[in-house]
Amino acid sequence: MPSFDIVSEVEVAEADNAVQNVMREIGTRFDFKGSKSTVEMKDAVITINADDDMKLRQMHEILQGNMQKRGIEPGSLDYQKVEQAAGQSVRQQVLLRQGIDKETAKKIVKEIKGAKFKVQAAIQGEELRITGKKRDDLQDVIAFVKGLKIEQPLQFKNFRD
């Protein structure tokens, strides 16, 4: 029976490369001269330290631009609450979304079943397995899921006949 998986993955090595590029760009930009702004990545968590809110917003733009250049969509970045650090400086953690959470997975399954496709959708941990009798049905499901308004980027893998 033909099947495929719907996953949401981020290449951690590419994200690390993007963070390194952000640090290089911050070091060369005129508006960051003399600032103590840094970006670090440990275990799929990016920590942004900035002098003030304006620099933090600029660093968001630089980070998103570099992530897109590396093939990581902005929807993969989960910005946490901004924390006050010493003085006016601020700190923020950005999580890389790995896997599909339960609510999103249930929503996708409900939409697929509501569209009356002749396929079965099963939640397997942090991914979805879609199986059907015909390859064309699976391709229709891929097109349908791409059309859904889901903020988290999805990939379609392991397409098997």
Residues 59 and 50 sit within 8 Å (Cβ to Cβ): yes
Segment 115-128, tens digit of pLDDT = 888 888 888 888 89
Residues 3 and 130 sit within 8 Å (Cβ to Cβ): yes
pLDDT at 161 over 80: no
Provide the 10 A C-beta neighbour count for residue 112. Answer: 20
Say which CATH class 3-8+100-160 falls into: alpha beta
Domain-wise residue ranges, the chain: 3-8+100-160, 12-96
Separation of alpha carbons 160 and 74, rounded Å: 29
Q: How many residues does the chain have?
A: 161
Residues 53 and 31 sit within 8 Å (Cβ to Cβ): no
Sheet holding 119-124, edge to edge: 119-124, 127-132, 3-7, 155-160
DSSP H helices in the chain: 12-28, 53-69, 102-114, 135-147
Name the nearest CA neighbour of 113 among 150, 135, 145. 145
pLDDT for the residue numbered 20: 92
Segment 35-68, tens digit of pLDDT = 888 899 988 899 999 888 888 899 999 999 999 9
> Mean pLDDT throughout 20-28?
90
Segment 75-91, tens digit of pLDDT = 888 889 988 877 888 99
Q: What is the CATH number of domain 12-96?
A: 3.30.70.990
Segment 2-23, tens digit of pLDDT = 888 888 888 888 899 999 999 9
pLDDT band at residue 158 using 50, 70 and 90 as cut-offs = confident
